[in-house]
Amino acid sequence: MTARILDGNAISALLREELAVRAAALKARGITPCLAVILVGEDPASAVYVRNKVAGCEKTGLRSIKDVYPAAVDPAVVLARIAELNADPTVHGILVQLPLPKQFDADVVLEAIAPEKDVDGFHAENVGALMQGNPRFIPCTPYGVIKMLERGKVVLKGAEAVIVGRSNIVGKPMAMLLLAKSCTVTVCHSQSKDLAFHTRRADILVAAVGRARMITGDMIKPGATVIDVGINRTPEGKLCGDVDFESAKEVAGLITPVPGGVGPMTITMLLTNTLESAERTLK
Ligand SMILES: Nc1nc2c(c(=O)[nH]1)N[C@@H](CN(C=O)c1ccc(C(=O)N[C@@H](CCC(=O)O)C(=O)O)cc1)CN2
């Protein structure tokens, strides 16, 4: 039997309807939720993500500010702009699209964003709050994964969750969130020995390594939930995930596609965090 598909576009559409209602309610109280997005350089994938973020704001009733800088910009210019946005009371969320060009220290940039406007949840203060089980903003991709698991009615309590990838953006926060949901969590990475030994034990497998189709059907426990966070391009230019969808869907019970899985959820959770930030100004 082939796996049931967890459709990120469909789940996103439902969540965004709820967000539009919340945005309208805020506007009625005189507050227009606003997200500021900073893009540095000409990376085509980043340009697409930023365009989708701005379009998502527009469709949901949020205001957006988009600042684009050339790849060679002096980091001081970007830091000065972040300081301005931090001080602007009409701006509720600020993000800097990653990756940044080489002359930037990404940590310095992320730490410059006011923690209460850090809707990506990447500031050290917000990372610490997440680790302590008291998150201010949950990083958007792992947040989207949790929402998809909830919509798919996946049992989390006591489940064996295996995450492949240990990035600050996905792997580490994903581990914290699944731990908070009472999963038993294993994080695998490039130095892990016998990766398939770990992945075959997973009731929930999250692939976030950035290597096209590296998780194949024989590495998956029959009936498992498989979440594909990867966004890769094949040599032919086709978008594909870290999971080999064709072989995996014959073994898994539930699976996310690429495109149309976790990606759209990332943007939906960014809108959620921005709205939440704007709502907090009323409290
Ligand atoms: N500041 C941040 N930078 C980056 C983040 C992030 O959360 N914050 N995550 C990724 C990129 N990303 C969001 O920024 C992102 C990636 C993919 C998608 C998406 O919708 N993907 C589509 C396919 C889109 C395409 O055609 O290429 C899909 O999977 O269906 C949204 C957001 C790194 N940087």
Question: In this structure, what is the dihedral angle of CA atoms 149, 150, 156, 161, given to the nearest 10 degrees?
Answer: 20
User: Do residues 100 and 144 both lie within one domain?
Assistant: no
CA atoms of 52 and 33, how far apart (whole Å): 17
User: Do residues 234 and 173 both lie within one domain?
Assistant: yes
CA atoms of 33 and 105, how far apart (whole Å): 29
Q: Is residue 99 part of a domain?
A: yes
User: Do residues 161 and 257 both lie within one domain?
Assistant: yes
User: Do residues 258 and 146 both lie within one domain?
Assistant: yes
Tell how far the Cα of 1 is from the centroid of ligand 1, in angstroms.
Answer: 31
> Measuring from each residue's beta carbon to the nearest atom of ligand 1, which residues come in under 6 Å?
45, 48-49, 52, 95-98, 120, 140-141, 169, 231, 239, 258-260, 263-264, 266-267
Tell me the whole-structure pTM to 2 decimals: 0.98
Q: Is 46 one of the annotated binding-site residues?
A: no
User: Do residues 157 and 104 both lie within one domain?
Assistant: no
Q: Is residue 217 part of a domain?
A: yes
User: Do residues 37 and 98 both lie within one domain?
Assistant: yes
Count of domains observed in the chain: 2
From atom 31 of ligand 1, which residue's Cα is the shortest distance away? 263
Q: What is the pLDDT of residues 169-192, one digit of tens each?
A: 999 999 999 999 999 999 999 999
Q: Is residue 161 part of a domain?
A: yes
User: Do residues 37 and 109 both lie within one domain?
Assistant: yes
**Active-site residue, from 7, 43, 74, 97:** 97
Active-site residue, 221 included? no
User: Do residues 102 and 192 both lie within one domain?
Assistant: no
CA atoms of 178 and 204, how far apart (whole Å): 10
Q: Is 165 one of the annotated binding-site residues?
A: yes
pLDDT number for residue 73:
98
Testing ligand 1's pocket by substitution, the residue of 5, 49, 98, 255 carrying the most ligand atoms inside 8 A of its CB is: 49
ipTM of this complex prediction, to 2 decimal places: 0.97
pLDDT number for residue 283:
86
**Active-site residue, from 118, 120, 203, 242:** 120
How many residues would you count in the chain? 283
Range of the domain at 236: 140-263
Tell how far the Cα of 142 is from the centroid of ligand 1, in angstroms.
Answer: 12
User: Do residues 65 and 110 both lie within one domain?
Assistant: yes
Which of 128, 126, 66, 56 lies closest to 95 in space, CA to CA? 66
Q: Is residue 4 part of a domain?
A: no
- Atom of ligand 1 minimally distant from the CA of 98: 3
Q: Is residue 134 part of a domain?
A: no
Active-site residue, 193 included? no
CATH no. for residue 196? 3.40.50.720
From atom 14 of ligand 1, which residue's Cα is the shortest distance away? 49
**Active-site residue, from 53, 117, 172, 249:** 53
For the four alpha carbons of 106, 68, 63 and 18, in that order, the dihedral sign comes to negative
Tell how far the Cα of 263 is from the centroid of ligand 1, in angstroms.
Answer: 6
pLDDT number for residue 270:
98
Q: Is residue 23 part of a domain?
A: no
Which of 3, 2, 13, 80 lies closest to 255 in space, CA to CA? 3
Give every CB contact of residue 130 below 8 A, 6+ residues apart in sequence. Answer: 121, 138, 139, 173, 176, 177
User: Do residues 184 and 106 both lie within one domain?
Assistant: no
Question: In this structure, what is the dihedral angle of CA atoms 209, 212, 216, 217, given to the nearest 10 degrees?
Answer: 100
Q: Is residue 269 part of a domain?
A: no
User: Do residues 151 and 248 both lie within one domain?
Assistant: yes
Which DSSP helix (H) or strand (E) runs through 152? none
Tell how far the Cα of 186 is from the centroid of ligand 1, in angstroms.
Answer: 24
Q: Is residue 277 part of a domain?
A: no
CATH no. for residue 46? 3.40.50.10860
Tell how far the Cα of 224 is from the centroid of ligand 1, in angstroms.
Answer: 25
Q: In tens digits, what is the pLDDT along the chain, a chain of 283 residues?
A: 799 999 999 999 999 999 999 999 999 999 999 999 999 999 999 999 999 999 999 999 999 999 999 999 999 999 999 999 999 999 999 999 999 999 999 999 999 999 999 999 999 999 999 999 999 999 999 999 999 999 999 999 999 999 999 999 999 999 999 999 999 999 999 999 999 999 999 999 999 999 999 999 999 999 999 999 999 998 899 999 999 999 999 999 999 999 999 999 999 999 999 999 999 999 8
pLDDT number for residue 1:
79
User: Do residues 173 and 245 both lie within one domain?
Assistant: yes
Active-site residue, 97 included? yes
